[in-house]
Amino acid sequence: MGTKDSISERLKKLHRKMKEKGCDFLLVTSEDCHMSEYVCDRYRTIEHYSGFTGSDGDMLLTSEKDYLWTDGRYFIQAENELRGTGIRLMRMGEPDVPEILDFIKDNIKTGQTLFFDYSTVSLRRGCKLEKIVEDKGASVVDSDIAGDEWEDRPSLPSNKVFVLPDHISGKTAEEKIQEVKNSLSEKECDGILITSLDEICWLLNIRGRDIACNPVAMSSMYISGKKVILFIQKSELDEDAMKFIGASGAEIRPYEEFRNFIEGKTLKGQKTLLDRFNTSFYLYKTISGHSEAVVDRSPVGLMKAVKNETELTNLRRIYIEDSAALTKTLLDLKEELPHDGKTEAQVAGIVDIARSHLKGFIEPSFPTIVAYGANAAMMHYEPDREKSAEILDNGLLLIDSGGQYMGGTTDVTRTVSIGNVSDTIRKLFTRTVAGMLNLADTVFLEGCTGINLDIMARGPLWKMLSDYKCGTGHGVGYMLNVHEGPHSIRWKSNKVVPDEPFKEGMIVSDEPGVYRDGEFGIRIENILELVSAGESADGKFLKFRHLTYVPIDLDVIDIKYMTDEDIRRLNEYHELVLKKLLPYMDGRYAQLLMEATRPVSR
């Protein structure tokens, strides 16, 4: 990341280059050329120039001031990491904080220039930027000044991919590709360009190691009725992988040839489908310059989100085993932590080691979050090995973690008390648990989206005039990215991403919380499977089934803040936890589990 002094020097050098090139505004994004949420080191440009380590942000450099926009998950973290850099934090969604596009519109003047790397900006956003700037009599320039000026910039990663056997994938690559071809016929398109890394890996039943915690490989893909081409670094493929991919009907070409392919003659005059949300502005400008770009949703996103029966069977097993490992760890920590002075980083190591012993474990699904006391108010806090807090006996400990396995991706959060906590914390914790279980117990008509259901989790906290500055739930990949669309649970419509109705076979997180800056943080997260609730004359109904089976810390529950229904849901959930996990517990752990899942009553 660099010291504040080194960051200051990098910014000065970048500003000099901006002036030399006639750049008045420079936009730097947190995406790579595949529009990934989590990126390899080569694309951590914002971190290099600001010190901000969050996964989502935009940096705008001007001749007078530098700015960084990020959302509510990262406000506290960004404030701490930007301190001393001179960069102004723009808290997205807060009153009087303009969106970055509005800021550019209000500040750019006739004759000025906005530089940005077209390949790291989405097509939707790039089109808006272009129109805003040109309407002001200014111009946009495709240039990666920040990347070009980054000394010793990391090279593109290249790691061997691995293939998934049928008992893991549940559907062959040929079958998946044929579904895409069928969709192209329905949309009357000649072909589709796919640059989303998880979509490509899912389609071909391969997984990679190019981005930490995300089993993907740097690649792009073209599919038409007659042709399937995978663009990937040849160094990533051994002989078995070459044969496996070839058997799917895909031709393999070098990753670096992708630009020549889309700029060349092959696609000229064709109708080419581009995903509305995962395609870069560069790709859109190139295709629309010589053929017809059909901007729509990629069919692969929804195909991937609705898990097949093999995937669901594997996920159910993995989640129980993962829950058992985490539960044993939490039971140990509850007994040991008040006395042995461990740090957050040490606890994170313990959690990671516990998972690593499970059969089929590959790596964590994201860097493990262990946050004690006020640190837990930062939603994506990561403990530093050298500076992490010591865990004492008078607060809450939040642990958010997950694993990548041969057969699934897990994600779970539990907040537990270490020693004494206040009545305010008990009240907020109890209402958070009530919200999580309330959503999980909901039956709803097919066609509902996450916006219809968010109130079930957020409602118990809203009644107390409390809220959390993030969504309630996200999809989860299958041996892929821990955050997966197109479905989600949130209270407010997103202007960029449309609301996707829930379908049987999807999985989604359920994670309400409370975050008090400088005091504490609470989050309780389970992963839920969408299943049928039956049909009637009024239609088909869906409901949720728990995939996560980890006890709720009863030491922080206060039943005076619970309704009778809340108590019923908590007891029924703990009955399930005991039933699912007891076969994995013996001796001391069995006794501790029974105590941790004991019924509560008035």
- What does the block give as tokens for 120? 């790291």
Report whether pLDDT(294) > 60: yes
Q: For residue range 220-279, list pLDDT tens digits in order.
A: 999 999 999 999 999 999 999 999 999 999 999 999 999 999 999 999 999 999 999 999
Report whether pLDDT(4) > 80: no
Higher per-residue pLDDT: 73 or 320: 320
CA-wise closest residue to 78 among 343, 388, 377, 456: 377
What is the three-state SS of 25-89? EEEEECCCCCCCCCCCHHHCHHHHHHCCCCCCCEEEEECCCEEEEECHHHHHHHHHHHCCCCCEE
Q: What is the pLDDT of residue 72?
A: 84
Backbone angles phi, psi at 528, to 5 degrees: -120, 145
Confidence band for 340, pLDDT divided at 50, 70 and 90: confident
The mean per-residue pLDDT over the stretch 576-588 comes to 97
What is the three-state SS of 518-545? CCEEEECEEEEEEEEEEEECCEEEEEEE
Strand partners, 140: 114
Report whether pLDDT(99) > 60: yes
Q: What is the pLDDT of residue 233?
A: 97
Contact (Cβ atoms closer than 8 angstroms) between residue 291 and residue 134: no
Report whether pLDDT(315) > 80: yes
Confidence band for 338, pLDDT divided at 50, 70 and 90: confident
The mean per-residue pLDDT over the stretch 375-391 comes to 86
Contact (Cβ atoms closer than 8 angstroms) between residue 564 and residue 574: no
CA distance 414 to 549: 11
- What does the block give as tokens for 416? 């537990």
Q: For residue range 135-183, list pLDDT tens digits in order.
A: 999 999 999 999 999 999 999 999 999 999 999 999 999 999 999 999 9
Report whether pLDDT(386) > 80: no
CB-based contacts of 332: which residues, under 8 Å, 6+ apart? Answer: none
DSSP-derived 3-state class of residue 202: helix
Report whether pLDDT(34) > 60: yes
Radius of gyration of the chain (CA): 25
Q: Within 13 Å and on the Cβ side, how many CA atoms surround 389? A: 18
Report whether pLDDT(5) > 80: no
Quick count: other Cβ atoms within 10 Å of Cβ 240?
12
- What does the block give as tokens for 528? 């839920």
Confidence band for 380, pLDDT divided at 50, 70 and 90: confident
Q: For residue range 182-209, list pLDDT tens digits in order.
A: 999 999 999 999 999 999 999 999 999 9
Contact (Cβ atoms closer than 8 angstroms) between residue 118 and residue 92: no
What is the three-state SS of 105-127? HHHCCCCCEEEECHHHCEHHHHH
Q: What is the pLDDT of residue 269?
A: 92
Q: Which helix (H) or strand (E) holds 253?
A: strand 251-253
Confidence band for 1, pLDDT divided at 50, 70 and 90: low
Q: What is the pLDDT of residue 194?
A: 98
CB-based contacts of 565: which residues, under 8 Å, 6+ apart? Answer: 438
Q: Which helix (H) or strand (E) holds 192?
A: strand 191-194
Higher per-residue pLDDT: 4 or 343: 343
Q: What are the start-end ranges of the H helices in 99-234?
A: 100-107, 123-135, 145-148, 166-169, 173-186, 197-204
Write down the mean pLDDT value for the chain.
95
- Name the burial class of residue 69, with classes exposed (0-12), middle (13-18) and buried (19+) by CB atoms within 10 angstroms of its CB: buried
Confidence band for 32, pLDDT divided at 50, 70 and 90: very high
Higher per-residue pLDDT: 331 or 469: 331
Q: What is the pLDDT of residue 437?
A: 98
Q: What is the pLDDT of residue 559?
A: 97
Report whether pLDDT(548) > 60: yes
The mean per-residue pLDDT over the stretch 594-600 comes to 98
Residues of the chain with pLDDT > 70: what percent?
99
The mean per-residue pLDDT over the stretch 359-388 comes to 91
Report whether pLDDT(339) > 90: no
The mean per-residue pLDDT over the stretch 303-330 comes to 98
Report whether pLDDT(495) > 70: no
Q: What is the pLDDT of residue 2?
A: 62
CA-wise closest residue to 28 among 193, 157, 149: 149
Beta strands in 284-433 (DSSP E): 292-296, 361-364, 369-372, 394-401, 403-405, 408-409, 412-419
CA distance 492 to 497: 11
Domains belonging to the chain, first-starting first, are: 4-148 (3.40.350.10), 162-305 (3.40.350.10), 309-596 (3.90.230.10)
CA-wise closest residue to 160 among 64, 248, 237, 225: 237
Contact (Cβ atoms closer than 8 angstroms) between residue 407 and residue 317: yes
CA distance 153 to 553: 45
Confidence band for 498, pLDDT divided at 50, 70 and 90: confident
Q: What is the pLDDT of residue 493?
A: 84
